[in-house]
Chains A and B, each alone.
Chain A
Amino acid sequence: GAVVSQHPSWVICKSGTSVKIECRSLDFQATTMFWYRQFPKQSLMLMATSNEGSKATYEQGVEKDKFLINHASLTLSTLTVTSAHPEDSSFYICSAREVRGLSYGYTFGSGTRLTVV
């Protein structure tokens, strides 16, 4: 089945540094990638939607200059948390949407646990 490889699975960084999270679709073309953030014991919150080759669409309240999303190819999308602060510590998950004929599905990455110290 479809697989999205997300790396790193966990990362600890110092305040003020930037962290890049990668999501690669291994056996299909991900025309659309969704990026979610999840706080402990809470639901997934959509941060942004990116379509290959165009600028990402951010949800209200999400700072686009802080959470840089790049979707330069059909198999790779990246989320960069710039100048990270402890409040950015969270679980980040990507999800690729694959269109198959008249139907479609979502394939999730395994998530990245970010801790900013």
Chain B
Amino acid sequence: AQKVTQAQTEISVVEKEDVTLDCVYETRDTTYYLFWYKQPPSGELVFLIRRNSFDEQNEISGRYSWNFQKSTSSFNFTITASQVVDSAVYFCALSEVGGRGSTLGRLYFGRGTQLTVWP
């Protein structure tokens, strides 16, 4: 069965600190996608990244970077030089790969990590 674990419930840092949000997943599928979403207090989900299971290249986008390691089933997210605007709940999610119009392809969410960045 698919499962996503975000062991860190809450993290508090001071502005300009680096912070890493952990994500560990479980799946029997060989093909899958991993996602990170940001949910600010307003509630909407902001897409950050999608990574497929065949692409283990780490990715950097500005202050954000992701470390995907299949060997440890982890997809960790690092924010460098954190800012107050980074304060939000961050969700890691896993999806199966399904055919068009099927019930496969649902997202399995972790419970989220509340990040608070203090000025």
Task: Report which A residues bind B (CB closer than 8 A).
Answer: 31-32, 34, 41-44, 46, 49, 51-52, 57, 91, 93, 95, 97, 99, 103-106, 108-111, 113
User: Are A110's CB and B43's CB within 8 A?
Assistant: yes
Interface status of B70 (Cβ within 8 A of chain A): no
Bound-state CA distance A49–B104 (Å) is 9
Bound-state CA distance A108–B103 (Å) is 17
Chain B positions 72-99 with a Cβ under 8 Å from a chain A Cβ: 91, 95
User: Are B110's CB and A43's CB within 8 A?
Assistant: yes
User: Are B91's CB and A111's CB within 8 A?
Assistant: no
Bound-state CA distance A49–B100 (Å) is 13
Number of A-B residue pairs having CB atoms within 8 Å of each other in the complex: 55
- B interface, by DSSP: helix, strand, loop or mixed? loop
User: Are A32's CB and B45's CB within 8 A?
Assistant: no
Q: Contacts A31-B100, A44-B91 given: A95-B107 contact, CB under 8 Å?
A: yes
User: Are B106's CB and A34's CB within 8 A?
Assistant: yes
| A residues near B45, Cβ cutoff 8 Å | 93, 95, 108, 111
User: Are B43's CB and A113's CB within 8 A?
Assistant: yes
Chain B positions 39-64 with a Cβ under 8 Å from a chain A Cβ: 42-45, 47, 50, 52
17 extra interchain contacts, Cβ-Cβ under 8 A, other than A32-B102, A106-B95, A111-B45?
Answer: A32-B103, A34-B106, A43-B110, A44-B91, A44-B107, A44-B109, A46-B107, A51-B102, A51-B103, A52-B101, A57-B103, A97-B105, A106-B35, A106-B107, A108-B47, A111-B43, A111-B44
Closest-CB distance, A96 to chain B (whole angstroms):
11
Closest-CB distance, B43 to chain A (whole angstroms):
4
| A residues near B110, Cβ cutoff 8 Å | 43
Closest-CB distance, B93 to chain A (whole angstroms):
9
